Chains A and B, each alone.
Chain A
Amino acid sequence: MHISEGVLSVPVLAGGAMLAAGAIAVGLKKLPDERIPQAGMLCAMFFVASLIHLPVGVSAVHLVLNGLCGVLLGWAAFPVIAVALLLQALLFGFGGLSVLGANIVVMGVPAVLCSCLFHAGFSTLTPHQAGLRGALAGGGAVALGIGLMTLALWLSSGTAYWPLIGTVLLAHLPVMAAEAAVTGAVVFLLARTRPTLLAPALT
């Protein structure tokens, strides 16, 4: 789920960077000092989880887990996603510095939205219901991310990118299915074994 360097127009890149900076500032403000080790650790966790690949048909998808990130962190997902994306750009060359802001928005906005929806009336849920919500959050976060990606590509060049956007959409359908299934199962397991981890998000 990375937008590559070179595709977006300058206004979209600048807008993405500004939105990302604002959202990171809010996220940092809501993140108390004593939870920073936890945020850093989760950041490392999400980075490592993105190294896990699931075979889908003839190819493989790697986990993104931005929905889970939002469910666990709330607004603090923004700085955590920012750091994880920066490291992915540096260590693997996914994305890059100029599209970093746009990529943070594409992954972070769905994370925060999913966290709000996930936590509404959470305390009364059974583990199965929580797992179902987790699956919705996981799949929904990817779907929303693709929507934002489409918006960024469309704003960059109008209709000229439609076939490109279509291909990107198609390529992400298996990602969405895998994310929904994995996030659902993770949330189900956490709700059964560590329910306290799911309760406090920094909304």
Chain B
Amino acid sequence: MTTSVVHPLAHGDSVIHRIDPRVRLLCVLAASVCIAATSRPGPLLAACALAAVLVLVARIPWRPLWRRLRVLNAFMAIVLLTVPFSMQGETIWQAGALGASREGLAQALRIILTGNTLVLLLTSLVATIEPTVLAHALLHLRVPDKLVRILMFAVRYIDVLNDSRLRMDRAMKARGYVARCNAHTVRTSAYLVACLLAQSLDRAARIERAMRCRGWRGQFPVLNHFHAGARDVRFACLFAGALAAAMVMP
């Protein structure tokens, strides 16, 4: 009955899933910087191909992948419809008073390619890390431990709170509630949020007391230790090579 929001893609078993999460995170960070800084079409196309290959290797199911790309490309459609017409340059297409410029079209395509490449990379390499493992990987990468603790609590309780939201939602529907564009809907949603808020803060207070009584000293024991082996080094080298090759494309 309950559906988990928290790890839709982390349960696969591909070559990518077995690579050290720290290595994958660092690879994505490096690639993001390189890709965001490039504006030439050749490297961008090559990087996009690399990201697509990684998505295939990670065996990401089509449905969640499609959902992510749809969210992104709804925005990209607006970019494609506005940027060519607002950028100065050589006119290639005239529609009444509006002219689309070659430079504008190139810029729009560049944005679309960059955005899709980065989302594909994030999906294949980082979304495939179990969130709790990701938290440990971040700790090992020296992200402040308070921030990681917030992440751990959030990951732990998102599904709990979402179940509670769905339960209230079913109760509301059973009593004939239909969301419409009116004040009643706004008030009902607001009271739903207030209920969730009160529940979550009460629960937080109980958790805090329970943790104290078990000797909490403000530090999670770090249970996951990672050991980068030959396979991880091979992956990092391969990735760095492919990225470098992509970046020097004409």
Contact = CB atoms under 8 A, between A and B. Distances in A.
Contact of A182 (B119, B190, B218): B190
Interface of A: 4-7, 10, 13, 24-25, 28, 31, 33-34, 36-45, 47-49, 51-57, 63, 65, 68, 72, 79-80, 82-84, 86-87, 89-94, 96-98, 157, 159-164, 167-168, 178, 181-186, 189-190, 193-194, 197
A37 B211 CA distance: 10
A98 B183 CA distance: 38
A130 to B, nearest CB: 13
Interface in B54-82: 67-69, 71-72, 75-76, 78-79, 82
Contacts of A182: 186, 189-190, 193
Interface in B64-118: 67-69, 71-72, 75-76, 78-79, 82-83, 85-88, 104, 107, 110-118
Contacts of A57: 181
A42 B35 CA distance: 34
A96 B154 contact: no
Contact of A41 (B83, B113, B201): B201
Contact of B33 (A24, A48, A98): A98
Given A41-B201, A87-B131, A186-B193, A98 B87 contact: no
A44 B157 contact: yes
A55 B71 contact: no
Interface string B173-201: 00000011101011101111110111011
Contact of A65 (B29, B115, B134, B193): B193
B147 A79 contact: yes
B218 A189 contact: no
Contact of A193 (B71, B185, B198): B198
Contacts of A45: 161, 196-197, 200
A43 B87 contact: no
B147 A82 contact: yes
Contacts of B189: 52, 54, 63, 182
Contacts of B36: 5-6, 10, 13, 98
A31 B37 contact: no
A98 B196 contact: no
A68 to B, nearest CB: 8
Contact of A38 (B28, B151, B156, B208): B208
Interface string B112-130: 1111111100110011000
Contacts of B122: 89-90, 93, 96-97
A42 B162 contact: no
B86 A79 contact: no
A36 B150 contact: yes
Contact of B153 (A13, A44, A91): A44
B49 to A, nearest CB: 16
A178 B180 CA distance: 12
B89 to A, nearest CB: 10
B118 A91 contact: no
A48 B162 contact: yes
Interface in B205-238: 205, 207-208, 211, 218
